[in-house]
Structure 1
């Protein structure tokens, strides 16, 4: 052992598994990459394909151009809709303008869209549990006419909501919420409306649930939790919240290793590390390497569940393959 490594304080890194990319994010990124291969650059992307700066910057380097509205896209270039989903008006506008478009909406978000439509067709009054302004919420509410879906963000909202007919209510949820927070809101709704119609299968996606469960397992053993992800990533922000509630004395959301403050680790012997569903694994390795510059690091995997989910790419991208 070198003198430098001998002088470094030991630090156990508890690595949450699963972490990082989910199947929906992986599919969305592949759709942009394959579209650039097939159609050449530039390919336009409406909204960030996923909420991660490193992913977005990498796709920009390949020839993706990110815009907020379809009106910013020329009609002679393909456009990709982000993994978060879009209101029905967006593909309708693309068809009207005779554009080539590829929908990278996560299939689990599309499932929520289908459920909302089903409830609407059945004459139900619909509430959506989610965060105002999040692209997924905008997309889900935009599946139905304006004002049809009521947004509920908190237990207080659930208690204040007054439907026209308490016996004819249904709920759906954003896919990237805190499992525990959402359970409290649903419980408040069920208490008031025992007949409320629920999703056939929980709307919070498998990846969100699995990553939160993994953080709970890590936070029970770690003094500090480091979550790699962007501040506009809902699932990443939720991981920080779950970590703080589950035993970690502190939890921090960081874009990458460069944002690590070693002061957070003063007196700490075990640090938890995870990554949000839109954060690439290279960021995790970069953080471990940075920690190894200052500490004698040992890495221990904390495995909770094995993920095997994958989603098919759109036929437009596979037909000629």
Structure 2
């Protein structure tokens, strides 16, 4: 993670500021699943009163988490940190089946904020298991979404695949009854390569009915692909534990453009702008637009910024809230 840099004063009156072209990716920032998850916590606070507990960060963004803490949310890692009589929200990343089962056993009031696109992957996993298939799951070890999805099926029925090299190490007999799924926030290009390797090694493997990588992840990566070749530097607003934000940095770097992950504007080192004429700016799916404008204002302290929005897709997806919060 980049360390914050001390505030740099604006140029004194009469001091010339160099121009800076700022390309701002669209779409960027909040996706429908993140919007829904945040609203679920806010509505739960309104309906049940503070405190409302949230198992794991509702989304991977410190600004969002701190904002909800200020409203009365308490973030924990496990249910054993939550009193029996307190409402609890499960994060947008999804949880293993054992978590709601434990909440039911304790007769807890819980609200599931799992992104509907992650829930879709969970349902596909259940169907593949019902058909007797062993699931090869493409994802990153330790990510909450991976833990949640792998926790949907019995132990020993799902195997994590992180890289093309992992495919070569798989030890399944020819003709084994296999299927695959993937984490929703992966690199589109990396996942395509891994799936190609799986299909080459196991021609009989069953694909999901639709691509698992979510629309928001794909759209944000496509916007960076279009923008980055025109940039000297790409800034990605996102958390270091945000999979989709890290993938945006990788997309720009593979194009050959210097890219930096930042959480807030105060992490920008003014030396990054030396010799830079064009900066690209985007935000991961958990980063609010307020942080984008904060970065624009910061850059404007040092340079004369000319903003241009680079639009590659329009997003109008909206997910319904859980019925218990709308009744």
1:76 counterpart (57, 74, 85): 85
Question: Would you say 1:312 and 2:325 are equivalent positions?
Answer: no
Instruction: Give the deviation of 1:166 after TM superposition.
Output: 3.2
Alignment gaps of 5+ in structure 2 = 1-10
- Report what 1:8 is aligned to: 17
- Report what 2:182 is aligned to: 173
CA gap of 1:5–1:313, structure 2 versus 1, over 3 A, is farther
Instruction: Give the deviation of 1:6 after TM superposition.
Output: 6.5
2:303 counterpart (295, 299, 308): 295
Matches within 5 A, 1:126-145: 126-145=135-154
Aligned residue for 1:7, secondary structure, equals coil
| Cα distance in 2 for residues equivalent to 1:165 and 1:49 | 42
Superposed CA offset, 1:51-81 (max 9, x none): 0000000000000000000011001110000
Contact 2:174 2:202 in 1 (8 A): no
Superposed CA offset, 1:6-26 (max 9, x none): 700000000000000000000
CA gap of 1:121–1:312, structure 2 versus 1, over 3 A, is same
Contact 2:237 2:287 in 1 (8 A): yes
Contact 2:182 2:212 in 1 (8 A): yes
- Structure 1 runs of 4+ aligned residues shifted over 3 Å read 2-6, 164-167
| Cα distance in 2 for residues equivalent to 1:165 and 1:50 | 41
Contact 1:223 1:247 in 2 (8 A): no
Superposed CA offset, 1:217-269 (max 9, x none): 11011110000000000000000000111241x10000010100111111000
Question: Would you say 1:19 and 2:17 are equivalent positions?
Answer: no
Aligned residue for 1:220, secondary structure, equals helix
- Report what 2:165 is aligned to: 156
Matches within 5 A, 1:1-321: 4=13, 7-164=16-173, 166-248=175-257, 250-319=258-327
Aligned residue for 1:177, secondary structure, equals coil
TM-score scaled by length of structure 2: 0.95
Contact 1:125 1:163 in 2 (8 A): no
| Cα distance in 1 for residues equivalent to 2:284 and 2:173 | 39
CA gap of 1:62–1:233, structure 2 versus 1, over 3 A, is same
| Cα distance in 2 for residues equivalent to 1:239 and 1:312 | 27
Aligned residue for 2:260, secondary structure, equals strand
Aligned residue for 1:127, secondary structure, equals strand
CA gap of 1:302–1:6, structure 2 versus 1, over 3 A, is farther
Aligned residue for 2:319, secondary structure, equals coil
Instruction: Give the deviation of 1:164 after TM superposition.
Output: 4.3
| Cα distance in 1 for residues equivalent to 2:50 and 2:230 | 47
| Cα distance in 2 for residues equivalent to 1:16 and 1:5 | 32
| Cα distance in 2 for residues equivalent to 1:147 and 1:61 | 42
